[in-house]
A and B are shown apart, each in its own frame.
Chain A
Amino acid sequence: EAGVAQSPRYKIIEKRQSVAFWCNPISGHATLYWYQQILGQGPKLLIQFQNNGVVDDSQLPKDRFSAERLKGVDSTLKIQPAKLEDSAVYLCASSLDVGWGTLFFGEGSRLTVL
């Protein structure tokens, strides 16, 4: 069974530039999550989708971050414009259940903002 796929694995940009990350969850998983993990910290939830609807985006900085899951499968997370403090690993996870169950994580996309 293929795992959660993310790309790109690494991205370096200058502040005020934009960046987009892509995630393809495990086939059949209804719920998709984007997490931000700053070095030395635990992951923090940015947004949770159930199929193509947003369940929780309360911690998403909506002035600069956006995410979509238009067809209820893969998802894109965008940052525009980026700030230095956005440097982090962006992790995508999916779970089979419509609620919270075992989460399966991708390997993450590491963003460095200079």
Chain B
Amino acid sequence: KQEVTQIPAALSVPEGENLVLNCSFTDSAIYNLQWFRQDPGKGLTSLLLIQSSQREQTSGRLNASLDKSSGRSTLYIAASQPGDSATYLCAVLGANNLFFGTGTRLTVIP
């Protein structure tokens, strides 16, 4: 069964720093990987989707990479802002299910 792990569970950084969130998965047979953002009491917002054939995707200050063979993905956030404070979840699409990690709670300190 696919297991998705996100480390660290929580992260605090000062405003302006660049940061990296990590996601690892145990089964490399995936179709795609998605990064989501979840604000307290809210649903999930899709940030980036990387197909299994791709190595990275970029959107604004966000860049996600995928190394399927090693079972890893990273989400890079450049020039962090207080508005980036949220929980970030990665999810991998297997044969018939989307498996979520437990998330990294990010706090950007003004």
Contacts and interface: CB of A to CB of B under 8 A. Distances in A.
A14 interface: no
Interface in B76-110: 89, 91, 93, 96-103
Given A42-B4, A102-B49, A91 B102 contact: no
Contacts of B32: 100
Given A42-B89, A105-B36, A106-B43, 10 more contacts: A4-B43, A41-B102, A42-B4, A42-B99, A42-B103, A91-B43, A93-B43, A103-B98, A107-B42, A107-B43
Interface of A: 4, 40-45, 55-56, 91, 93, 100-108, 110
Nearest to A56: B96
Contact of A42 (B43, B97, B101): B101
B34 A103 contact: yes
Contacts of A103: 34, 44, 46, 98
Interface of B: 4, 31-32, 34, 36, 41-46, 49, 89, 91, 93, 96-103
Nearest to A101: B49
A43 B4 CA distance: 12
B102 A105 contact: no
Contacts of B103: 42
Contacts of B43: 4, 91, 93, 105-108
Contacts of B31: 100
